Chain A
């Protein structure tokens, strides 16, 4: 083993390595350094034992290698894939991603254009083109292209989420909220979307939005009792409403009650953390 990382990774047997890679693949983990470690060893030492699995492993390792700036490894994987699947669009996309990683955006864009010429319905190539715009800092263009993309592929949840992030960066909270609404409808049990929606509403401000934000923080908590960010959000939105001069006595009373409940729960959480001695920052990071 030549890497001074986790020694345990190097001692693991071949089948464990292969299974780990598969699990990471299926769960869509982006733990690229680990993938590169395990994958590189697997490819170099155990290629013959992998059989047909090796192609999908090449793809997985290549993407991880691009994340870690390991162009040598990425190039090797790409060459193997090109040899085995000449003319494949999936491989072309990987070649484009490598060009992106090397910041050769013009060439990458041409690569994706050629895919789209053969198959105008290829969503992966279109999305990579938008990523290029994002990488070049051309947010307005990226937003515009992504909107056009979504007009045709309304069901692409990944794209909706990406668009919501772009809007948040541009402080266009109204439109970000719209995107998050799409996601909440397609994933009604995902507490993270509710929490993000609530945060956007809170940032927009104004009494109506604060009410909405409180409600959605509550919903996120209902879906996942452990979402600390939502708990703090609930406390803050309820307190804000209670402190506002524009509310009547009933509403004020209700919100004071909500804020008190939230405080109670936060204290309970601190009791638990005191025994585990976690700092506040980690407490806030606990949104799952």
Chain B
């Protein structure tokens, strides 16, 4: 229904490609800046220790079946005992890390905003101003008219199909689209990955609590209480001897060399 517009090929050369380059370079710069501004997160000894204890308790629940019953019970007792079980009785002082009490959190948030949101807004605005007044590209799927004011900033054509978008939209498309390029060039976990950062900020509320340790202990205690010992080695001899041993290829002439 919409007439096919033929865009000036100059647009391709001087608009589309430059925007791609600009976005990419800005992303790379953002990555290196974020590395420079990164503050080391120092964990206290207690936090490291506690996290390992929780892991050990979990392993006991999951793999306790590989050790003898007595050994399992002994460890369960150590963790869950009424009087002096570790999980039951250890209370840690928990300070919820809100921006007010924890100054480093505040600076982290600020740094995050400066390196990510600010450049995006600035560059987006600049591109909109520089490359305004013409259509940049067409998105391959049809859009409704409601998208027009958003995607066609600066183009005052009422009859133009909403699929034709301005350069600002192309810029934002690039910001998200170049994510995989960043992974290729900067490696995983790079600071230019905008969408990942925004995802993190959203789930950040959940992660920001460095797992309230007391709650974690309580949860482990409950889970461990419910765990029973099902010895995995109950019928191991019968299982083993149900067939001959596989001795193929075991005795080759070469022994691997040691240190000398």
**A282:B241 contact, CB within 8 angstroms:** no
Query: Does B240 sit within 8 A of A, measured CB to CB?
Result: yes
Known: A218-B240, A272-B251. A185 touches B66 (CB 8 A): yes
Residues of B near A272 (CB, < 8 A) are 247, 250-251
List residues 167-197 of chain A with CB under 8 A from any CB of chain B: 177-178, 181-182, 184-186, 188
Contacts of A121 in B (CB 8 A): 43-45, 48
8 Å CB contact of B56 from A154, A221, A226: A154
B130 to chain A, nearest CB (A): 39
A150 and chain B: residue at smallest CB distance = B52
- Please state if B49 and A153 are interface contacts (CB–CB under 8 Å): yes
Contacts of A225 in B (CB 8 A): 245-247
CA distance A211 to B87 in the complex (A): 33
- B63→A268 contact, CB < 8 A: no
Contact indicator A276/B240 (Cβ below 8 Å): no
Interfacial residues of chain A within 24-58, with CB under 8 A of chain B in the complex: 30-34
B259 is an interface residue with CB less than 8 A from chain A: yes
Residues of B within 8 A of A282 (CB): 255
Complex CA distance for A120 and B260, rounded to whole angstroms: 37
Q: Could you mark each residue 138-157 of chain A with 1 if its beta carbon is under 8 Å from any beta carbon of chain B, else 0?
A: 00000000000000111110
| Cross-chain pair count, CB within 8 angstroms | 99
A286 pairs with B233, CB closer than 8 A: no
* Minimal Cβ-Cβ distance residue in B for A278: B251
Q: A31-B259, A155-B56 are in contact. Are A286 and B67 (CB under 8 A)?
A: no
Given that A218-B236, A222-B239 are known contacts, is A184 also in contact with B255, CB under 8 Å in the complex? no
Residue A85 at the B interface, CB < 8 A?
no
B45 touches A218 (CB 8 A): no
In the bound complex, residues from chain B placing their C-beta under 8 Å from that of A258 are 237, 241
Residue of B nearest to A277 (CB): B253
B100 close to chain A: CB less than 8 A: no
Given A154-B53, A185-B63, decide whether A31 and B233 contact each other with a Cβ distance below 8 A.
no
| Contact present for A154 and B52 (CB under 8 Å) | yes
Which residues of A lie under 8 Å from residue B240 when comparing CB positions?
218, 221-222
Bound state CA distance, A152 and B66, in angstroms? 24
Contact between B68 and A188, CB atoms less than 8 A apart: no
- Is B140 engaged at the interface, CB distance under 8 Å to the other chain? no
Within A211-253, the residues touching B (CB, 8 Å) are 212, 214-216, 218-219, 221-222, 225-226, 231
With A121-B48, A268-B245 known as contacts, the answer to whether A222 contacts B55 (CB < 8 A) is: no
Q: Which of A182, A215, A268 lies in contact with B237, CB distance below 8 A?
A: A215
B64 close to A (CB within 8 Å): yes
Q: Once bound together, how far apart are the Cα atoms of A278 and B252, in whole Å?
A: 9
Please pick, from B55, B233, B236, the residue contacting A155 in the complex, using a CB distance under 8 A.
Answer: B55
A177 to B43, CA, bound (A): 32
A154 CA to B60 CA, complexed, in Å: 12
- Find out whether the CB atom of A153 lies under 8 angstroms from the CB atom of B250: no
In the complex, whether A273 has a CB less than 8 A from a CB of chain B is yes
Chain A residues with Cβ below 8 Å from B66 are: 184-185, 188
- Whether B258 is near chain A, meaning CB under 8 Å from some CB there, is yes
Q: Is B158 an interface residue (CB 8 A)?
A: no
* CA gap between A34 and B256 in the complex, in Å: 13
B8 close to A (CB within 8 Å): no
Q: Say yes or no: is A265 at the interface (Cβ < 8 Å to chain B).
A: yes
Whether A181 pairs with B245 at a CB distance below 8 angstroms is no
Q: Which residues on A sit within 8 Å (CB–CB) of B259?
A: 30-33, 67
Distance of A32 Cα from B240 Cα, bound (Å):
39
Q: Is the Cβ of A212 less than 8 Å from the Cβ of B68? A: yes
Is A184 a contact of B67 with CB atoms below 8 Å?
yes
Contacts of B48 in A (CB 8 A): 121, 152-153
B244 at the interface (CB under 8 A from A): yes
Task: Check A215/B236 contact, CB under 8 A, given A272-B250, A276-B253.
Answer: yes
Chain A residue numbers with a CB within 8 Å of B59 are: 185-186
A33 near B247 with CB under 8 A, answer no
Of residues 13 through 58 on chain B, the ones whose CB sits less than 8 Å from some CB of chain A are 43-45, 48-49, 52-53, 55-56
Would you give 23 A-B contacts (Cβ < 8 Å), ordered by A? A31-B259, A33-B260, A120-B45, A121-B44, A152-B48, A152-B49, A153-B49, A154-B52, A154-B56, A155-B56, A181-B67, A181-B68, A212-B68, A215-B237, A218-B240, A219-B236, A221-B245, A222-B239, A226-B247, A254-B237, A265-B244, A265-B247, A269-B250
The 7 closest A-B pairs by CB, nearest first: A155-B52, A185-B63, A225-B246, A181-B67, A225-B245, A226-B250, A218-B236
Contacts A153-B48, A177-B71, A221-B245 given; 15 further ones with Cβ under 8 A?
A31-B257, A155-B52, A155-B56, A184-B67, A185-B63, A215-B233, A218-B237, A218-B240, A219-B236, A222-B236, A226-B246, A231-B245, A269-B251, A276-B252, A286-B251
